[in-house]
């Protein structure tokens, strides 16, 4: 279960001294770290320091386990200052503590839309998604957190845990399809030991070290709040020593052969991109694009993302259907061409589209997008 560490800053933070309710039964969900406060420059939100007492009052109620009272006070505050990111963030953590992951996801998602430069909300979304076994969404959210702040150590560690879980699922599927593959079982067994409860129990000394890990400030400014200590669960799953041992076996196991397997992977990546677009899942949608994506019109990446958010989130309903998908792969690059039928509210458009993709690790991500070709 998630545990937080007592801390305080001029702007306040939610720091519960007790274990929170579990988000799910998944060991991974209990291993990921939840950021319990947010750091930002005062210039971004007028008069943040003036409201430190309000944050402190809500924190005090939450620490005392009076979550309903804390939520009431937070809602009262937000009624007058609905865009305040600090109180909204605190509200999301209270919802998480109260065992309301759906509400917490909605709260953190809205913060990422209004303040995409803050990494902590993305991290907490990942923890919540992992608690629901939505590991692809968790991965995309963590990648956004890291893209926003490449020095965010907690997000890097959480991403490692998510990758380990995704690897476990892939190895399990491989065994299901080919039970005689002797090279898969040792890898699967190793990953499963990383998430075994007794492994965490054997590492009590790891918690204090992780407890002092802090998220760096997300914006510059003399009045920025102090960095945010991450909440710490039982000893994290990642462990460099065991992971070094299976390296020879992993090297001996052939990588996915080019051809039909890669084509299917590219098709799956393109379909996941379309599905995220239709679902208005901005974390997964934006995470489908590479960091060096060729943005249209010489836009900066933040400007392009802001434009995409405004175009997508504002729609009441979106449908994106792909047909006649053809994939051409050359080494680690791929081109996907297809017919796209797009509808949103009263708009209906059919067009040909081409996506250029590259392989990044075990994923295919978009580097170029064009219409009419």
Range among 38-42, 73-77, 198-202 with highest mean pLDDT value: 73-77
Domain that residue 110 falls in? 27-252
Residue 354: pLDDT band (50, 70, 90) is: very high
Average pLDDT, the chain: 73
- pLDDT value of residue 198: 45
Could you tell me if 273 and 244 lie in one domain? no
Q: Is the residue at 17 inside a domain?
A: no
Per DSSP, the three-state class of 66 is: coil
* Prediction pTM value: 0.47
Domain boundary among 252, 279, 299: 252
DSSP character string of 160-215: HHHHHHHHHHHHHHHHHH-TT-TTHHHHHHHHHHHT-HHHHHT-TTHHHHHHT-EE
Could you tell me if 48 and 114 lie in one domain? yes
Comparing C-alpha atoms, which of 258, 259, 274, 256 is closest to residue 355?
274
Q: Is the residue at 334 inside a domain?
A: yes
Percent of the chain at pLDDT > 70 equals 68
Residue 299: pLDDT band (50, 70, 90) is: confident
**Is residue 47 scored above 80 in pLDDT?**
no
Residue 240: pLDDT band (50, 70, 90) is: very low
Percent of the chain at pLDDT > 90 equals 31
Cα 180 to Cα 107, 174, 177, 190: the distances in Å are 46, 10, 9, 18
Name the token pair of 253: 């196991």
- pLDDT value of residue 36: 65
Domain boundary among 219, 252, 285: 252
Could you tell me if 204 and 238 lie in one domain? yes
Q: Is the residue at 7 inside a domain?
A: no
- pLDDT value of residue 338: 94
- pLDDT value of residue 56: 85
pLDDT digits (tens, 9 = 90+) for 97-147: 888 999 999 999 999 999 998 999 999 999 999 888 899 999 999 999 999
How many domains does the structure of the chain reveal? 2
Checking DSSP bridges between strand 214-215 and strand 228-229, what pairing results, if any?
Answer: antiparallel
Could you tell me if 216 and 276 lie in one domain? no
Q: Is the residue at 266 inside a domain?
A: yes
Q: Is the residue at 3 inside a domain?
A: no
Cβ-based neighbours of 339, under 8 Å, separated by 6 or more:
322, 323, 324, 350, 351, 352, 353
Bridge-partner residues for 324, per DSSP? none
CATH number, domain containing residue 165: 1.25.40.10
Any alpha helices (H) in the chain, and if so which ranges? 27-31, 52-63, 67-80, 85-97, 101-114, 119-131, 135-148, 153-177, 184-194, 197-201, 206-211, 240-244, 247-252, 260-279, 282-287, 301-313
Could you tell me if 160 and 81 lie in one domain? yes
Domain boundary among 233, 252, 271: 252
Residue owning tokens 């917490």: 104
Q: Is the residue at 172 inside a domain?
A: yes
Comparing C-alpha atoms, which of 98, 120, 121 is closest to residue 18?
98
N- to C-terminal Cα distance for the chain? 51
Q: Is the residue at 330 inside a domain?
A: yes
- pLDDT value of residue 259: 53
CATH number, domain containing residue 350: 3.10.450.50
Q: How many residues does the chain have?
A: 373
Could you tell me if 210 and 279 lie in one domain? no
Could you tell me if 224 and 304 lie in one domain? no
Could you tell me if 71 and 151 lie in one domain? yes
Residue 321: pLDDT band (50, 70, 90) is: very high
Name the token pair of 172: 């399990």
pLDDT digits (tens, 9 = 90+) for 161-215: 898 888 888 888 887 888 777 787 788 778 777 666 544 444 333 332 222 223 3
**Is residue 159 scored above 50 in pLDDT?**
yes
Q: Is the residue at 219 inside a domain?
A: yes
Comparing C-alpha atoms, which of 40, 172, 22, 196 is closest to residue 114?
40
């Amino acid at each position: 279960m998630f545990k937080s560490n007592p801390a305080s800053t001029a702007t306040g933070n939610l720091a519960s001294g007790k274990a929170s309710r579990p988000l799910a039964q998944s060991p991974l969900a209990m291993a990921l770290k939840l950021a319990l406060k947010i750091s930002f420059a005062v210039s971004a939100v007028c008069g943040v320091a003036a409201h430190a007492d309000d944050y402190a009052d809500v924190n005090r109620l939450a620490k005392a386990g009076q979550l309903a009272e804390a939520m009431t006070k937070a809602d009262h505050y937000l009624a007058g200052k609905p865009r305040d990111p600090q109180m909204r963030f605190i509200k999301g953590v209270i919802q998480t503590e109260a065992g309301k992951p759906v509400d917490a996801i909605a709260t953190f998602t809205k913060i990422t839309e209004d303040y995409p430069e803050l990494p902590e909300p993305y991290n907490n979304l990942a923890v919540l998604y992992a608690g629901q076994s939505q590991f692809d969404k968790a991965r995309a959210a963590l990648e956004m957190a890291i893209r926003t702040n490449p020095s965010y150590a907690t997000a890097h560690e959480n991403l490692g845990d998510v990758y380990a879980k995704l690897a476990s699922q892939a190895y399990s599927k491989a065994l299901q399809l080919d039970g005689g593959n002797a090279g898969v079982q040792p890898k699967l067994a190793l990953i499963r030991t990383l998430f075994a409860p007794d492994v965490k129990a054997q590492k009590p000394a790891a918690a204090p070290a992780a407890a002092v890990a802090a998220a760096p400030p997300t914006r510059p400014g003399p009045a920025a709040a102090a960095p945010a200590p991450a909440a710490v669960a039982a000893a994290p799953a990642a462990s460099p020593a065991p992971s070094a041992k299976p390296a020879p076996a992993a090297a001996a196991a052939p990588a996915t052969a080019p051809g039909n397997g890669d084509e299917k992977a590219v098709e799956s990546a393109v379909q996941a991109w379309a599905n995220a677009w239709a679902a208005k899942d901005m974390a997964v949608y934006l995470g489908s694009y590479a960091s060096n994506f060729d943005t249209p019109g010489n836009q900066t990446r933040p400007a392009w993302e802001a434009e995409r958010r405004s175009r997508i989130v504002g729609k009441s309903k979106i449908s994106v259907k792909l047909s006649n998908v053809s994939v051409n792969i050359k080494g680690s690059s791929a081109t996907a061409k297809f017919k796209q039928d797009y509808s949103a509210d009263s708009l209906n458009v059919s067009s040909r589209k081409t996506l250029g993709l590259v392989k990044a690790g075990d994923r295919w991500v978009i580097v170029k997008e064009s219409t009419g070709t």
